[in-house]
A and B are shown apart, each in its own frame.
Chain A
Amino acid sequence: MNQTTVTESNVNPQLLKKRKAGSGKAGFYLRQLKKSPSGMAGFVIILIVLFLGIFGSWVAPYDPNLAELSKKLLPPMSEGHLLGTDQLGRDILSRLIHGTSVSLIIGSCAVVVAGAVGTTLGVIAGYFRGWVDTIIMRLVDVVLSFPFILLVLVINAVIGTGLKNIILSLAIAGWVIYARVVRSEVLALREKEFIVSCVATGVPRWEIILKHIVPNLFTPIIVLSSLQIATYIIAEASISFLGFGVQPPQPAWGNMLSEGKDYIFSAWWLITFPGIAIVVTALGVNLFGDWLRDVLDPELKGN
């Protein structure tokens, strides 16, 4: 029984250092991230937002819907309310923290739905071309002939508010970007030798698409999605601000601003903090997305 256990003390220290610095894919990305201050900043912001989104109800100091009229419109840093209270005496910090999960859920679900629909149609259009391509691309043109935010707003006004309907509205207006990007990628991939030789050797169509084309689409889709999430979060806040989207009393950054704008003459903090939350989140996602694009797709760098 002379087994040596591997502990930190008996391993070559240089090897250990190497391992700690990270190896494999995760290590590569981590090292790349350390080189880019803006990418790192974005990454940290995303981690914080994710943390608040997931554990918000434990972190928030108060119940976000606890109204204490005796404590209404307290300025920041007073009576245990770090960011003050709103017109009903609800704690703004707690409402902001609870709003995080709403923004995250809507942003990420909309990206998944829009991405799935757009990618599927984009692959079909790009691979099969012909009349299928024409129909899908005309559909894309039509959706693009309406300004994005206007379309989201009108669709949401028609199908009704509520989380599911907001996600649906964003996805109906948003899938076209994916379809366009994916289609042009597929058109380029089709001409590549490894696809041409698959076709020539009689590999079935679905196998070419699923095994050889789709894996090559991951990079552009991930890059696009990281930037689309910010767009969707801002769009949700915009329509909630306009009175659609997330309805009060459920706290969301957009409807907090909407309620706060009536108190612009007396209570600046109502319109300040939810806006900062939106900007910081969108900024973090964008910075991270830009970094991701530079690392995954060096050809696009700087564009």
Chain B
Amino acid sequence: MLDYLIKRTVQVLVVLFLALTTVFFIIRLSGDPTALFLPPDAPREQLEEFRKALGFDRPLYVQYTEFMTNAVQGDFGNSLRTREDALQTVLNRIPATFQLAFTALGLSLLIAIPIGINSAYKRNTLFDQTGVAFTVLGQALPSFWLGLILIYVFAVQFKWLPTGGGGSMIHLILPALTLAAYSVARFARFTRSTMLDVLRKDYIRTAKASGIPMYKILSVYALKNTLIPIITLVALDLGVLLGGAVIVEVVFAWPGLGRLLMQSLLNRDFPVVMAGVFLIAFIYSVINFVVDVLYAYVNPQIRYK
């Protein structure tokens, strides 16, 4: 186990180091990063001055070394707008994004697992086919459009909920539902197919033969064995959820990381963008790492692969 732990830790560190490098090079994709930081109509002298001030006139490897040395210590520079520390600005928005992402995750599991189990148990019935149809539809539904429609129905027409903003549970309902929709489709589909496999197993037949009631077989014996693959999918989907949160936050003006990133992109506040993008990659990699280690702990076969 220790060997595996060390190996995976090194792997994660390498990926994070490369992710940081990627963040550095992304904003140099356009050639001259100075042009990104300033509005397109900025005068030439201002460009030159800015280039010097940010050190973009130095050789690339000097800039890279400096960026990496600082970034490893959590210093991504200061926000060009507020002059505050970029990483701190980003970290302040994390709680709101986590609230949204985890509410959406909980919501989607709560909806998807019962649907998936029922679909598998009542395979090829009307319930199952309706469920499958909805999951297919759910995957074709862009979250920002679903968000707009929910706003139109529940905020504009019925006036039950606010159109956007943050700060209370009421504000959380629509964005969380919107974000959950995509995962519900995926989780339900996956639960159904895993459950179908499990229901074919011998121990389920034995359980049935011993006269254990079906609801108990489904909710206890079968469910336990479908959970492990579902947990993996959940971990993989957290990245999708965090990415999706960026868009959903903009639609609902939810004061999280995603909205900050969008505003910073539009304002050309690239220190904040770099800190934010790296932070998301960091969170995602750490979650994956934890899941992998837990998985290896539960299932020793994996460690020796």
Residues of A within 8 A of B (CB): 38, 138-139, 141-150, 153-155, 157-160, 230, 234, 237-238, 241-244, 257, 261, 264-265, 268, 271-272, 274-275, 278-280, 282-283, 286-287, 290, 302-303
Contacts and interface: CB of A to CB of B under 8 A. Distances in A.
Interface stretch (B54-62, B108-116, B141-149, B294-302): B141-149
B19 A150 contact: no
Contacts of A275: 142, 145, 148-149
Contacts of B284: 145-147
Contact of A283 (B19, B140, B262, B281): B140
Contact of A237 (B142, B149, B243, B251): B142
Interface string B14-40: 111011001000110110000010000
Contact of B152 (A38, A264, A280): A264
Given A283-B136, A286-B140, A160 B247 contact: no
- The secondary-structure label for the interface of chain A is helix
Interface in B221-243: 239-240, 242-243
Contact of A286 (B139, B240, B266): B139
A50 B26 CA distance: 34
Nearest first, the 10 A-B pairs at minimum CB distance are: A147-B243, A282-B140, A275-B145, A283-B140, A142-B18, A149-B243, A145-B281, A157-B265, A150-B243, A271-B148
Contacts of B16: 145
Contacts of B163: 264
B9 to A, nearest CB: 14
B200 to A, nearest CB: 12
Given A154-B26, A282-B140, A243 B266 contact: yes
Contacts of A290: 136
A176 B152 CA distance: 37
B115 to A, nearest CB: 17
Interface of B: 11, 14-16, 18-19, 22, 26-27, 29-30, 36, 136-137, 139-145, 148-149, 151-152, 156, 163, 193, 196, 239-240, 242-244, 246-247, 250-251, 261-262, 265-266, 273, 277, 280-281, 284-285
A89 B251 CA distance: 25
17 contacts: A141-B18, A142-B15, A145-B16, A147-B246, A148-B243, A154-B277, A230-B139, A234-B140, A237-B144, A238-B247, A264-B148, A264-B151, A271-B152, A274-B145, A275-B149, A279-B140, A283-B137
A274 B148 CA distance: 12
B141 A279 contact: yes
Nearest to B268: A157
Contacts of B27: 158
A230 B136 CA distance: 12
Contact of A142 (B22, B142, B143, B242): B22
A176 to B, nearest CB: 12
Contacts of A302: 193, 196
A105 to B, nearest CB: 18
A124 B299 CA distance: 32
A242 B281 contact: no
Given A155-B29, A158-B26, A158-B30, A238 B280 contact: no
A131 to B, nearest CB: 14
A283 B137 CA distance: 6
Contacts of B246: 147, 149-150, 153
Nearest to A279: B140
Contacts of B18: 138-139, 141-142
B19 A153 contact: no
A264 B152 CA distance: 7
Contact of B156 (A160, A238, A264): A264
Contacts of B277: 146, 150, 154
A160 B27 CA distance: 11
Contacts of A257: 144-145, 148
Given A160-B30, A283-B136, A147 B151 contact: no
Nearest to A231: B139
B110 to A, nearest CB: 23
Contacts of A141: 11, 15, 18
A149 B142 contact: no
A157 B273 CA distance: 11
A238 B246 CA distance: 11
